[in-house]
Chain A
Amino acid sequence: MYIEIIQVVFVLFFSVVLHECAHGWVAYKLGDPTAKLAGRLTLNPIKHIDPFGTIILPVMLKLMGFLPLGWAKPVPVNFLRLRNPKRDMIFVALAGPATNIVLAVVAVQFLKLGVYPLLNEFLLTVIFINLLLAIFNLVPVPPLDGSRIVMGLLPPQIARSYAQIEPFGLLVVIILLNLGLLKFVWKVVILLAILLGVNPNNL
């Protein structure tokens, strides 16, 4: 039981750090050194911990019997410093979920090789957590990556007003979670797992 929780927390954190780094790295390659200058292009997890969002809130929610929701310190990206802000924003946003998808796919390959059956459980955790992170972040509500992609694709007028939801974004996400967003996200995760050939019933 405890081993499972530790495993999930470890995989979750590792995946989130990679996700955030990917945003910063792509932003850096596309002309915005903000994350680099802030010293956030590192895999050192301590640099990515947000005391409230990463530790206090999830632990409190868990203790109160709610779904442990949290976030890592977001990597700062100044979209205006990108060479082509509107287009590059899409790539920066995509980098995070793409990293998670890649991690999941790599884990699937390891699982299918079946070299270390003892690692099966761990690999399944890696697969499902990364798929979950990828899909959840692709939800098009402003603080999440999905909204940046949508913004990049929408005409500038609509995109600008769309961005104005951002201050209430987290609230919108929480309301949507209560309306069954997580169930929907999980369903997509299961569908993806099936497409990747991983039996979701194994979890």
Chain B
Amino acid sequence: MQQPEKKQSFFVRKNSFLAVVFIFSFFLCFHSDIFAQSLDGKNLSFPFLAETTTDKVNVRSGQSTSFEKVGRLQKGEQVVVVQKEFGWFRIKLPKSAVSYVSADYIQIIRGDVAEVTGSRVNIRAGNGINFSVVGQMKKGDKVRVLSTEEGWSKIEPVDQSYGWVAEKFLTFKSKEIPTPRIVKAPPPPPPKPAPIRNIYVLKRMAEQKAMEEAQRKAVEEAKKEAERRKNLVFAKGVVKSLGDRSISQNIRHKIVVDEKTSYFLKGYRQMIDGFLQSTVKIEGKVQKDITAQHPVLLVTKIHLVL
């Protein structure tokens, strides 16, 4: 490399330019113009509606024949094309295609409609984690479930799942694409209306119902009464004043049933006063009072025995 200083610098300058040209030509060569979107020589913008040109067109999970088939299109079927790459069109999966989601991340709401419960759930080309991903759903998205087996649900392809079709099988149809498919849960079933019957039958039914109701009420009443009676004590004896040995403001009398049994009486003082020294029948509730030597009766009924 022995070259005169002058000549070299000339070369260096010239070649610097060449080097820059080289780098940029590299990028010009491979710039995305090579992958420019064109069909039949026309420039296209996505998405657009396309039509199949032959029968039995495979829809695949990726842009090469090495990836799984997820569906098959007949001649003249229309699909929405969203992208093009390496000679393959990316299309929205037609309804006839096959797609699966893990049953762990969806939950049936009503009928065959399920809601996505995971945050980002993969839609796959088959019932296993080794199958290609064809789309993704968000939490809350709705999906129609066709069948569920071994933890994987076969679903009706949703709008956000895609397949690939070789470019040569599709031809431009129009720029008007169908509105996105949105899966909605069916409305809740309306309450069952009562079937209309013969008016006499209806009448009899109403009577029967009323009778049943009355019976039920009677039984309930009886139960209540029994419950009330269970807590009641009946006593017959002579009412005596406790005088200054009264236990409290409200307990100033006692009833002597016999030599052994007597009860303190709790109740309206003036009322009980009227029965002093007479024999009465008393109905009342026993109240536990530790301080008293006799049980205390809360008087609910009192009447003279003549």
Contact = CB atoms under 8 A, between A and B. Distances in A.
B23 A187 contact: no
Contacts of A141: 23
A119 to B, nearest CB: 10
A199 B15 contact: no
A58 B135 CA distance: 30
Interface stretch (B125-133, B140-148, B240-248): B125-133
Contacts of B23: 140-141, 165, 172
B31 A162 contact: no
A122 B162 CA distance: 23
A142 B34 CA distance: 25
A165 B19 contact: yes
A73 B63 CA distance: 38
A200 interface: yes
Contact of A161 (B18, B67, B130): B18
A143 to B, nearest CB: 13
B12 A190 contact: no
Interface range on chain B (Cβ under 8 Å from partner):
20 to 34
A190 B85 contact: yes
Interface string A175-198: 010011101100110110010010
Interface in A65-106: none
A202 B27 CA distance: 28
A7 interface: no
Nearest to B128: A117
Contacts of A190: 85-86
B129 A194 contact: no
Contacts of A62: none
Interface string A98-133: 000000000000000010011010000000000000
Interface of B: 1, 8, 11-16, 18-20, 22-23, 26-27, 30-32, 35, 61-64, 66-67, 85-86, 128-130, 132-134, 162
3 interchain residue pairs of minimum CB distance: A161-B15, A162-B19, A199-B62
25 contacts: A117-B129, A141-B23, A157-B11, A157-B12, A160-B15, A161-B12, A161-B15, A161-B16, A162-B16, A165-B16, A180-B31, A180-B32, A184-B30, A187-B35, A188-B30, A190-B85, A194-B62, A194-B66, A199-B62, A199-B67, A199-B132, A199-B133, A200-B62, A201-B61, A201-B162
Interface of A: 114, 117-118, 120, 140-141, 150, 156-158, 160-162, 164-165, 172, 176, 179-181, 183-184, 187-188, 190-191, 194, 197, 199-202
